[in-house]
A and B are shown apart, each in its own frame.
Chain A
Amino acid sequence: QDFHNVTVRLGLWLNRGGRVLLAVSLWGSLALGQQYTSLGSQPILCGSIPGLVPKQLRFCRNYIEIMPSVAEGVKLGIQECQHQFRGRRWNCTTIDDSLAIFGPVLDKATRESAFVHAIASAGVAFAVTRSCAEGTSTICGCDSHHKGPPGDGWKWGGCSEDADFGVLVSREFADARENRPDARSAMNRHNNEAGRTTILDHMHLKCKCHGLSGSCEVKTCWWAQPDFRAIGDYLKDKYDSASEMVVEKHRESRGWVETLRAKYALFKPPTERDLVYYENSPNFCEPNPETGSFGTRDRMCNVTSHGIDGCDLLCCGRGHNTRTEKRKEKCHCIFHWCCYVSCQECVRIYDVHTCK
């Protein structure tokens, strides 16, 4: 197996309304990306997910119940990645619109890889925690770490689901294949852990006073999960300030072991919350199947912006085309909290700028 070709591969199922079950291998190379369709009513077959290593397969079979949340978490992570990188040269593109396959971008140990690993492992922890609070899975944290007959610990001392179980699942599953002694595994492990640590760091304590006449004589607190956008923002900052590393080889009893060391001794060494990488990113300006770059041709750009989403930077100095477009749009909408919007239709004229 080519270690560098496959990074982390998680099964991703999108089980929507019982129509189609789509199983896609995530973060695999293009060649391994497969699509499966089958009936939604069928149970998930762990064996049918491509690219799982034996440890992951075992995990999948033991915890089949939470696998949909794992998949949901990966999806959440990718969506957040696409949101955070929406105006940039690399915009977290996935092939086939299936949210799943990044192509060879992640084969290199770049900042982008670091970010995707971190956000996806954070997403898994997030989604699993959430599904535990929904009650859709029965194997969440509480029962596992209390001894004695089931239910007794709960009746005696209570137990509330927090992020620990989600983090545990994420660690077990996503890190399962990162056990090699090479630099890439070390980097992935570090970045996965950074994503999970971010989840734990962003849990915030909320409290309620309910003593005599509502006084704070009795106060109960719980940990609340943040908006996932906050996680995305934070990891995006970490992406911008990611630490460049160099690979060091050591001779150990089990053979050669590669470890990472900060490249610049002048800077602070990365903490467990920082993202690390050791290869430079391609510039993503021109399409290049080798690096997985799609290029920025035909990408829409913002002519008034001087930032990375501005036409100058996004188009890599190639200039841009402008065309006028008439769009029918919904306007003067009245929203209801859900599911129903009454709008008028307006026609608006836009200037659309795309990169040459």
Chain B
Amino acid sequence: MAGAIIENMSTKKLCIVGGILLIFQVIAFLVGGLIAPSPTTAVPYVSVKCIDVRKNHHKTKWLIPWGPNQCEKIRDLDEAMSRQIEANDIVFAVHIPLPTKEMSPWFQFILVILQLDIAFKKNNEIKENAEITLDVSLAYRDDLFSEWKEMAHAVETRKLKCTFASPKTKEHEGRHYDCDVLPFMEIGTVAHKFYLINIRLPVNERKLINVGIGEIRDVRLVGIHQNGGFTKVWFAMKTFLTPSIFIIMVWYWRRITMMTRAPVLLEKVIFALGISMTFINIPVEWFSIGFDWTWMLLFGDIRQGIFYAMLLSFWIIFCGEHMMDQNERNRLSGYWKQVGPIAVGAFCLFIFDMCERGVQLKNPFYSIWTTDVGTELAMAFIIVAGICLCLYFLFLCFMVFQVFRNISGKQSSLPAMSKARRLHYEGLIFRFKFLMLITLACAAMTIIFFIVSQVTEGHWKWGDFEVQVNSAFFTGIYGMWNLYVFALMFLYAPSHKNYGEDQSNGDVGVSSGEALQLTTTITHVDGPTEVYKLSRKEAQE
């Protein structure tokens, strides 16, 4: 890959391109910060304690916490105690959403987490490693009057991780334990307007089910969904970005195929990066508005994963191809040491995601973290992925260091070289430094924004003027990596100009022959096809 556009572009033009990209970047941030609402909403729910008054529970009956046909309620469990209501007859009912609201497909997903309010009682403490067994069912309906239809039913166990801050004495009875929130449910599409969750805590003394779990006062749920407004802005952005990246990708590939030589590895990798970016961009999520495709969440994860893996591989290969040593690379197999960890890490995360979100397609209440084996397995996958990532960054840093070392070595010997050779190396160095600079800038932006969005409150307010920092982070960073890929494909596409042509004084003859010779030994044949060259010459005349 010699003679990319970036080398032959005048500084003025480069500045113009940079300026345009910067404008788009600012727009991307502003779209998120000013137009979009915050990305997600969390709605806290407190379950209503209903009594299932029927004699036998053969047929499932849905207990509704409020509205018409609401269930018979009890205020607290002392009341149940005095009325001798059995545990199996108590149903914790939660209606999603709250009254006067309805859910919408634009919400994309619902994630529900569970929080238990457990009061400390001297003679009814939570046992060590206590597990709570929940008999949960989920139903939906699309208007306020039709029957509830079952969506899922499962018996799930969750580990209680509770601490009690005060000394465990009589005086502190009634105080609540501090319990970790538990994963409860995740659904990948919101195809219905109303959802109903019924939770039972069945007791079976013989099998030690729900024994020693303390005095549960309340079951709270928190429902998290993506905001409709954010989804719309996001879709709009994707819909706009898809053709932009796609067009530049086609243009890029056309340039490469126009050359006499076969495309080199780096060109292929940049093209692959473009493909994976387009793959993320294609707004297939539009279908989730009309169809009940629960796998969309998983699919989104996979697409993101592919892009990240591609981006990381690209950095490695880019460094490798600019190494300026005499080694012949240009083959993917030459990078197995560095790309290997990426593949392994990505694969681990893929397996982990399949185990979590994949199984959730079948059973929305499933979570890999609830069992010991599952937790260990999940941790193993994540740790392996983490090690791979560390390994990768070590390799990357080492390679960058090597490149810089070679650059400084070459720079000292540059004046002594012939012009074509010097230009070739200067081009390589410039290309590398330029990418290094924008990559670092992008990575730094990502990290800074990530930290800012983690530590701040999510939105900044000046009077009536409100900026959604979190949304700006998502749209801005997403836009940024799109622009990055765009710029990469545009600036690193093979140039039609020759090195010589840059020297304006008609000094063409300096030795395109020598340049050709050199590049074949060092990297590869550059330049456009002869036909193209001729037609260009003609045009110039």
Give the B-binding residues of A (Cβ under 8 A). 16-17, 83, 130, 132-138, 140, 142-143, 150-151, 154-161, 206, 208, 210, 212-214, 216-224, 227, 229, 333-341
Contact = CB atoms under 8 A, between A and B. Distances in A.
Interface of B: 37-48, 65-66, 75, 77, 79-81, 83-87, 90, 95, 97-102, 104, 106, 111, 113, 115, 117, 121, 123-124, 174-176, 181, 201, 203, 205, 210-211, 213-216, 220, 222, 224-225, 227-229, 232, 301, 304-305, 349, 352-353, 356, 382, 450, 454, 458
A137 B98 CA distance: 9
A132 B98 contact: yes
Contacts of A334: 205, 211
Contacts of B203: 336-338, 340
B43 A17 contact: no
Given A213-B352, A337-B216, A339-B86, A133 B101 contact: no
A138 B99 contact: yes
Nearest to A330: B123
Given A213-B353, A227-B175, A134 B48 contact: yes
B175 A339 contact: no
10 nearest CB pairs, A to B: A158-B41, A157-B37, A222-B42, A156-B229, A335-B124, A227-B176, A138-B99, A155-B228, A339-B80, A133-B46
A221 B458 contact: yes
A206 B45 contact: no
Contacts of B352: 213
A161 B43 contact: yes
Contacts of B205: 334, 336
Given A157-B229, A222-B222, A229-B176, A135 B123 contact: no
A80 to B, nearest CB: 10
Contact of B46 (A130, A158, A339): A130
A158 B65 CA distance: 22
Contacts of B44: 133, 160-161, 222-224
A218 B40 contact: yes
Nearest to A343: B123
A336 B87 contact: yes
A227 B100 CA distance: 28
A137 B229 CA distance: 26
A219 B75 CA distance: 33
7 contacts: A83-B174, A134-B46, A208-B113, A208-B181, A212-B305, A217-B450, A220-B42
B60 to A, nearest CB: 21
B73 to A, nearest CB: 9
Greatest chain A CB density within 10 A among B84, B95, B175 is at B175
Nearest to A333: B123
A17 B74 CA distance: 8
A217 B446 CA distance: 11
A339 B214 contact: no
B396 to A, nearest CB: 20
Contact of B38 (A143, A158, A336, A339): A158
Given A135-B98, A155-B106, A338 B454 contact: no
A337 B210 contact: yes
Contacts of A208: 42, 111, 113, 181, 222, 224
Contact of B77 (A130, A156, A333, A339): A339
Contacts of B382: 213
A154 B357 CA distance: 27
Given A213-B352, A227-B176, A158 B454 contact: no
A150 B458 CA distance: 25
A6 B47 CA distance: 37
A306 B214 CA distance: 33
A117 to B, nearest CB: 23
B111 A135 contact: no
Given A156-B37, A338-B87, 17 more contacts: A133-B44, A133-B220, A134-B48, A140-B98, A142-B101, A155-B228, A156-B228, A210-B224, A216-B454, A220-B39, A220-B224, A222-B44, A335-B123, A336-B211, A338-B80, A340-B87, A340-B203
Given A157-B37, A160-B44, A135 B224 contact: no
Given A135-B99, A227-B175, A338 B81 contact: yes
Nearest to B75: A16
A138 B100 CA distance: 7
Contacts of B353: 213
A337 B113 CA distance: 21
Contact of A221 (B42, B97, B349): B42
Given A138-B100, A213-B352, A336-B211, A160 B42 contact: yes
Given A134-B65, A150-B100, A214 B90 contact: no
Given A135-B45, A218-B39, A221-B458, A337 B87 contact: yes
Contacts of B85: 338-339
Contacts of B87: 336-340
A129 to B, nearest CB: 9
B80 A135 contact: no
Contact of A220 (B40, B83, B201): B40
A222 B222 CA distance: 8
Contact of B86 (A83, A133, A340, A341): A340
Contacts of B201: 337-338
Contacts of B40: 158, 218, 220
Contacts of A221: 42, 458
